[in-house]
Amino acid sequence: MSNILVTGGAGYIGSHACKVLRAAGYTPVSYDNLSTGWRDAVRFGPFEEGDLTDRARLDQVFAAWQPSAVMHFAALSQVGESIRAPGLYWHNNVAGSLCLMEAAVAAGCLDLVFSSTCATYGDHDNVLLDEGCAQVPINAYGASKRAIEDMLRDFEVAHGLRHVIFRYFNVAGADPEAEVGEFHQPETHLVPLVLDAVAGRRDALTIFGTDYKTPDGTCIRDYVHVMDLVEAHILGLRWLEAGHDSRVFNLGSGTGFSVREVIDAAEAVTGAPVPVVEGARRAGDCTRLVSGSTRAGAELGWVPARSTLREMIGDAWRWHRAGHYDA
């Protein structure tokens, strides 16, 4: 049974990845500093506490577990924060990833699956985005992820570090068995914010902008179920194990849903109204952001079968009712 080092394994997506890794016959070794992750989310394999920028600690972990590959999720990921404090993102995301790559190469661990983002594309409003679209990020979060992608390509040329890069669209939902789920402090993602409003954990959901050129005036985004997303990572890992070349894949459902459509679906799933407040547009918000890529399906055989609003919100609601990591 191969060991897989999962950076950010105590976080939202990393913890779900650990669950599917274990089910697929791997041993996920979570490496996390717990700055945004949760110790209670590490349920499917061993845990090693440490920071990405701590090379000595990384060397210890690689030596102890001798992983065959790395799944790299650990990152700061709040767009607004990255605009206010870009240094945090260049230090944590970029310098930390450099340290991780150097440690992996030194340990002879030369397969890496990387969690990137559609934020690397920047503001291509109303354009169906595929992997060939220009990468012109408009904030430090997207720029840091693009820089890591560039580093991976350089490390492959110099050291043979092969990689699969996944550029995510909006991730939602939770483990259907409610063992792990989405919980951030502060929370910035739409689906958990909607469910917090339903549950009375916040007074109301703010809709930022109701005058966009969409059927109902609210922004449209591409949502993908977290379990579909992490299943793609298993496929990406196996792609590398089979000896294929390094590759970039978008991970989106290819379907856009507006903010009001998400609200309507949440009301249907929960049977309760969502209290809302209408606010002004936020700077930098695109009208429509949807993946137009079919590459992951064609080359990996990936199918986002769970990525319907009803299933994503239903699984997230089950998790919300089950309790939070800080409860």
CA distances from 211 to 136, 189, 207, 219, 278 (A): 26, 21, 11, 9, 11
Under the phi-then-psi rule, with left for phi > 0, alpha for psi from -120 to 50, and beta for the rest, what region is 276?
A: beta
- Which residue in this structure is represented by tokens 């995301």? 93
In the chain, where does DSSP find H-type helix? 12-23, 55-65, 79-84, 86-89, 96-107, 140-159, 190-199, 226-241, 259-270, 295, 309-322
**Crossing angle (nearest 10°) for helices 226-241 and 12-23:** 60
CA angle 8, 124, 13 (to 5 degrees): 15
- Which residue in this structure is represented by tokens 């408009």? 138
CA distance 104 to 271: 49
Tokens, residue 216: 């109902």
| Omega before 186 within 30 of 0, i.e. cis | yes
Catalytic residues: 141
Tell me if 181 sits within 8 A of 226, measured CB to CB: no
β-pair partners for 70? 5, 112
CA distance 112 to 55: 17
Pairing relation of β-strands 288-291 and 128-129?
parallel
